[in-house]
Structure 1
């Protein structure tokens, strides 16, 4: 069943990683997981931008920013595609980087690491129900922290390498993840500069 590891990675992550490692699902299964989870931040971004509005000031309605529904939908679709592509790209990096650490995961294992590690960060999208910038940033920071924790605990288990090597490997993956994030942000800036930016109400 898709998403059947969702509860476990929050309540008992190490045991759940062992369960994932013992019974690998198909590549499509792992891809389906991330495609469903990625709907949360992109869908919430659409709802908050088009209907709730973002309050970037001190609570004054004059500071509330809303996008048109068409613009919010376009931004949401682009965000969804970027999130899914980012996780798949991270999985490819994990697969290639693992060879340096004498590990030989297949693409399914690499995608499992990337997908389940990204899950808490994507789940933080629910924070958009309260569209205050400071609140969302706090929730995203918590999600990111737990994602990094999952990466550091999951890599030694999934790749069958010592924890010392796993720590170095995970640190390398975090660095690659930050580079991918910068690339996505740069791509967004380029699209905005050529006329694909948001349209405000």
Structure 2
């Protein structure tokens, strides 16, 4: 895929380009390494150049963010933009059935990645801080890209596209607020702040719950980010790509844990929650993905259970420090709908967000649970009614998952 041609086509001819994207094969790695990781570097690098090298001036006074902290901000904003797109894809996927669409993790990720094109390219205006507002205007075009892409890739009902887009945008705003607040914690505000003054706790209240960035551990994360930034500066001056990669990994680990949630739970820990038998069905396959993949603070474990036509899939995913943020965003949409063939419902219970979707003829059923600590559990089945699926889901020890503690970076 030619990234320049793809970006050009999605901006100038979004509908036919979405049709092409809908059918082309893709996976998480290719979408990130072949497209998003390159585009996400534009606002991060341009912001660093604009704030730390060019600076902003008014009435003859020029101000620049210190080089070291500009470098820290660049790394943090880059990492969080990659994570934010992934979390937004999870939300798009979860909401799809509610708006007449089909749930598909990879299709949702395609929407989140390619719809962000305008916003990412708009980051070039950060080269001149006084023009940064133009970047926001460019980002508004991403809303239109989202609106045109959802009904094609997620198969949502055309008449519900506006509502679907609106809900996703609200979720994106919540993500942006929290990520922006977290990013601001790593920018110098005063000498006393960096000398060890208390950092205020940042809270964002949403209809799905309150997301809080605890001040505990922020000072330690700042030190780790400072150390990583110095290592990156030293590696850059020495033109040492190996040292640069190591310093980037250090910065990624610190950024992933700065929201107070720590690192993602180990994938093997999640796998341990998948029993060898579930509801009398034997486990026929499993898959484990480490949270270090692509530098994202995520981990997941999934398993398949089956006998004859009955097939059950269980997936457990942890988003590390962003888990609580994702759970709150998911919880914003609650309600239920039902027709002659299908029923679904989203509600909160005991601090958890639950979603059920099933065919009334017993041909398919799905149950998703966003736990209080942000761990996401999904159970889906073919040739099984919702009552049987609930019974199976109840056999999973979600309480144990909910009480697992994450390691600090």
TM-score by length of 1: 0.86
Indicate the residue corresponding to 2:181 in structure 1. 186
Q: Judging by fraction of residues, say which structure has more strand.
A: 2
Aligned partners of 1:120, 1:184: CA distance in 2, in Å? Answer: 19
Q: Judging by fraction of residues, say which structure has more helix.
A: 1
Indicate the residue corresponding to 1:160 in structure 2. 155
Indicate the residue corresponding to 1:20 in structure 2. 21
Query: Could you give the per-residue CA deviations for residues 43-101 of structure 1, whole angstroms, max 9, x where no partner exists?
Result: 0111112210023x3xx331x21122211111100110111111111011111111322
Indicate the residue corresponding to 1:199 in structure 2. none
Indicate the residue corresponding to 2:401 in structure 1. none
Q: Does 1:149 align with 2:170?
A: no
The alpha carbon displacement at 1:189 in A equals: 4.5
Aligned partners of 1:125, 1:14: CA distance in 2, in Å? Answer: 24
1:7 alignment partner, SS class: helix
Does the 8 Å CA contact 2:111/2:150 hold for their aligned counterparts?
yes
Does the 8 Å CA contact 2:42/2:123 hold for their aligned counterparts?
yes
The alpha carbon displacement at 1:16 in A equals: 0.4
Indicate the residue corresponding to 1:136 in structure 2. 132
2:129 alignment partner, SS class: coil
Return closer, same or farther for 1:162/1:99 CA change in 2, 3 Å cut-off: closer
Aligned partners of 1:7, 1:71: CA distance in 2, in Å? Answer: 33
Does the 8 Å CA contact 1:54/1:65 hold for their aligned counterparts?
yes
Aligned partners of 1:34, 1:105: CA distance in 2, in Å? Answer: 22
Does the 8 Å CA contact 2:102/2:156 hold for their aligned counterparts?
no
* Candidates 94, 103, 110, aligned match of 2:92: 94
Does the 8 Å CA contact 1:24/1:109 hold for their aligned counterparts?
no
Structure scoring higher RCO (CA < 8 A, sep ≥ 6) equals 1
Aligned partners of 1:141, 1:74: CA distance in 2, in Å? Answer: 22
Aligned partners of 2:185, 2:42: CA distance in 1, in Å? Answer: 25
Asked which structure has the greater CA Rg, the reply is: 2
Unaligned runs of 5+ in 1: 197-201
Aligned-residue RMSD, C-alpha: 2.1
Aligned partners of 1:39, 1:189: CA distance in 2, in Å? Answer: 18
Return closer, same or farther for 1:21/1:112 CA change in 2, 3 Å cut-off: same
* Candidates 112, 115, 118, aligned match of 2:116: 118
